[in-house]
Amino acid sequence: MFDDLKGRRVLITGSTQGIGLAAAQAFARHGAKIGINGRKAPADLDATLQAMESAGGEAAFFAGDLCSSAACKAVVDAFVERFGGIDVLINNAGGLVGRKPLEEIDDEFFDAVTDLNARSALMTTKHALPHLRQSAKDSGQTASVILVGSVAGYTGGGPGAGLYGAAKAWLHNIQKNWVAFHTKEGIRFNTVSPGTFDTAFHADKDEAAKARVSTGIPMGRFGKPEECAPTFLFFASHGCSGYITGQVLDVNGGQFMP
């Protein structure tokens, strides 16, 4: 089904753990060339890369704190130097940063949340754009940009997560502009919007809190990162989604039905 992913050059930001890592592992199983990114190399990096190679992929790590626009460019440049171009960009780096109610939000917190969730995706996409254009031209097929939104982008987010929710809504929205102005260049833009997934993102919740959240999910449980991974394969594959752009795909166990 995802045969056309073999050899595709896929840069996944924020992919040392959680949803991004599970996506990278899925691409590896389909023979892709994968760029893993995080602020710094995780302790188990060698084993992670080796496992991806054994699964049939080719993977390399590109360090960079994508809150910085310069780092977004540096990671794109390093990936292109290693793999010769970019066919698929997945803007997965993101997170809560912290929880602050409106009265406690200051400039520093505003910058931290919006830099991580909005600036990182915008700047990485900007710097990847010439390479994505080239990929589409060379292959005669579409290149793909995938954003990672959130159920919070619709609901506004939980306690102290208003800025995070707004940043994710910003992502859901900005791809509409990119679709309007870059589709003719052969680039598709879609968003994967997870509900509640069992990753470090929820490290601030104990088991009782997780059980309470689960009662609000029709499937009665958190998602597992590997359950989100196939949606990235789908949007990356021209064969599967070559006529799909500007969409938000919700992966949330029925938690929210926009």
State which residue, 5 or 123, has the beta carbon closest to ligand NAD.
123
> What CA–CA distance (Å, rounded) separates 235 from 250?
13
Q: Give me 122's structure tokens.
A: 């915008």
Q: Pick the closer one to ligand NAD by CB: 6 or 40.
A: 40
Catalytic residue among 164, 189, 197, 256: 164
- Give yes or no: 243 in active site: no
Q: How far is the CB of 103 from ligand NAD (least distance, A)?
A: 24
Q: Which is nearer to ligand NAD, 129 or 148 (CB)?
A: 148
Q: What's the chain's length in residues?
A: 258
∠ CA 188-139-249 to the nearest 5 degrees?
25
Binding site for ligand NAD (CB under 6 A): 13-20, 37-39, 65-67, 92-95, 116, 148, 150, 194, 196-197, 199-201
- Helix 107-114 to helix 162-182 angle (10° resolution) is 40
Q: Which residue do the tokens 């509900």 mark? A: 195
Contact (CB, 8 A) for 10 and 32:
yes
Closest distance to ligand NAD from the beta carbon of 160 (Å): 15
User: Which of 37/135 has CB closer to ligand NAD?
Assistant: 37
For the bound state, the minimum distance from the C-beta of residue 70 to ligand NAD, rounded and expressed in Å, comes to: 12
Residue 153 Cβ, how far from ligand NAD at the closest point, in Å? 8
Q: Tokens 């989604």 belong to which residue? A: 241
Distance CA(242)–CA(238), nearest Å, equals: 4
Residues carrying an active site annotation: 164
